[in-house]
Chain A
Amino acid sequence: MKNRVVITGLGIVAPNGVGLDAFTNAIKNGISGIAHDAELERLKFSCQIAGTPTISEALKRKYFTELELRNFNSTGILYGVMAGLDAWKDAGLSIDINDNPDWDSGTIFGTGTSGIEKFRESIYKIDDLQTRRLGSTAVAQTMNSGVSAYLGGKLGLGNQVTTNSSACTTGTESIMMGFERIQQGKAKRMLVGSTSDSGPYIWGGFDAMKVCTFKHNQSPENGSRPMSASASGFVPSSGAGALVIEDLESAIARGARIYGEILGGNINSGGQRGEGTMTAPNSVAVQKCIVDALADANVKAEAIDYINGHLTATSKDALEIKNWSEALNRKGTDFPYINSLKSMVGHCLSAAGSIETVATVLQLYNGFIFPSINCDDLHPEISECVAVEKIPHQLIEKELNVVIKASFGFGDVNGCLILKKYAIN
């Protein structure tokens, strides 16, 4: 029999709030974290707005030593370590230094790329024949597993310590992978989540593809418009989300607060077949992912109270809604509540899935649905599928029982999770 898996800790570093209190307040009040970015303007990006978490030098020093911060400029590792350690503490777990590794605890902490500023700096040095002057941390900051390696060391994790990578599905996938590991009894507790670097060198490729909006450089807070008829591309952003998940018995034994239970989920790919490509989703696979997640969780589609969409603010939003509607076989007033966190934080890329899952868990645990901003002019193809009152423009206080979260990424990859309010039986 598989172990039941519950969520006991959350950590968040988002453009509209660093830490659970600031973030919860921001999402309840529809506060945008999108701002004009002077560096993107200087570099003549088409899209000159972005989402970057605000972190003071003093705050950094609560997570890193002076020595660790020498020549340190990997924003992704910074965000990931902050969110990860916060989740660990939020779960009531100790961050004291022990002599022995904690064999029962591990981490799967994803990212798309690591330390891209450090990578750029290193390449310039190498080309300038200064390889010997790269310093001792160029590898740790630029290896993809840098974030999980830093976390593993700070927490003394002795179970699996790794980094997954699957574009915008990364965060959702990390939770699913940790969930399965605990289900199988291979770990008691996993720190899961994902992070993404900030800055022009991570966002430039998307700008070149013309998938980011260039219409809101003067009105940043209105720039990210998921589900809107006037959506014109996503707003690039960054940050990290983290969750401590653990087997139910272990959580109960140590008297942990339980935010919710992970009932199941699914990870698949459309194989870049049919309508699927490197950059476009295969709807057959998207719907299959949702249907298979329901089956894995043993939940009926009609039980879903709320959907946390992927909904990036590109032309694909209407297709995503159609896929949800068909996969769940629900539409109009029967469609579950749905919103998009990206309306406030932009597209956090490899961090999106975990940041959005943290937002999902906060709604499930506290009983609210945050407003999806910037979609007063709902896309007509979306209003055909969903009754307007199911897409909140204002905070709704409401008890939620079963919720679903999905992410879709480049490479035609999909991830879907089903979470349930935990009830003491």
Chain B
Amino acid sequence: MNREEIIEKLKPIVEPFVNDEEAFANLTDKTNFITDLNINSANLVDIILDVEDAFSIVIDNESMEKMTDIENTIAIIQTKQAEK
């Protein structure tokens, strides 16, 4: 999957947790879930579970720790999909 395809699939997963709509509308690779989108850190695990279901992948603890912004999230999804 390329970057655009992943972002299109990622957006509806992240949207319910977003507390800064403007940052979400102007999403970039550097957008951080917590500092930019103002997502409650406890909800990151919910996003990761939904990502696992949507992309049919399993995200290990080490990768999970890195899933804090869009760029890393795309990279991890691509890596996990390649491993399948």
CB pair B16–A135 under 8 Å, yes or no, is no
CB pair B49–A70 under 8 Å, yes or no, is no
Interface check B45, CB cutoff 8 A? yes
Contact-residue bracket for chain B: under 10
CB pair A136–B16 under 8 Å, yes or no, is no
CA distance A136 to B42 in the complex (A): 6
CB pair A133–B16 under 8 Å, yes or no, is no
- Residues 46-83 of A contacting B (Cβ, < 8 Å): 66-67, 70-71
Q: Taking CB as reference atom, which chain B residue is nearest A67?
A: B16
Interface check B46, CB cutoff 8 A? yes
> Chain B contact residues: over half helix, strand or loop, or mixed?
helix
CA distance A133 to B50 in the complex (A): 10
Chain A residues bordering chain B, tally (CB within 8 A): 7
A-B contact count (CB 8 A): 16
In whole Å, how far is A129's beta carbon from the nearest beta carbon of chain B? 12
In whole Å, how far is B21's beta carbon from the nearest beta carbon of chain A? 14
CB pair B49–A133 under 8 Å, yes or no, is yes
CA distance A67 to B47 in the complex (A): 12
Interface check B81, CB cutoff 8 A? no
Interface check B24, CB cutoff 8 A? no
Q: Which residues of A contact B43 (CB under 8 A)?
A: 67, 136
Q: Taking CB as reference atom, which chain A residue is nearest B60?
A: A132
Q: Which residues of A contact B46 (CB under 8 A)?
A: 70-71, 135-136
Q: Which residues of A contact B45 (CB under 8 A)?
A: 135-136
CA distance A357 to B16 in the complex (A): 39
CA distance A267 to B32 in the complex (A): 52
Interface check B17, CB cutoff 8 A? yes
In whole Å, how far is A164's beta carbon from the nearest beta carbon of chain B? 26
Q: Which residues of A contact B16 (CB under 8 A)?
A: 66-67, 70
Q: Which residues of A contact B17 (CB under 8 A)?
A: 67
In whole Å, how far is B70's beta carbon from the nearest beta carbon of chain A? 20
Q: Which residues of B contact A135 (CB under 8 A)?
A: 45-46, 49
Q: Taking CB as reference atom, which chain B residue is nearest A65?
A: B16
Q: Which residues of B contact A133 (CB under 8 A)?
A: 49
CA distance A71 to B16 in the complex (A): 13
Give 16 A-B contacts (CB < 8 Å), ordered by A residue.
A66-B16, A67-B16, A67-B17, A67-B43, A70-B16, A70-B46, A71-B46, A133-B49, A135-B45, A135-B46, A135-B49, A136-B42, A136-B43, A136-B44, A136-B45, A136-B46
Beyond A136-B42, A136-B43, 11 additional contacts (C-beta under 8 Å) are: A66-B16, A67-B16, A70-B16, A71-B46, A133-B49, A135-B45, A135-B46, A135-B49, A136-B44, A136-B45, A136-B46
The 10 closest A-B pairs by CB, nearest first: A136-B42, A136-B46, A136-B45, A67-B16, A136-B43, A135-B46, A133-B49, A66-B16, A135-B49, A67-B17
A-side interface residues toward B, CB under 8 Å?
Answer: 66-67, 70-71, 133, 135-136
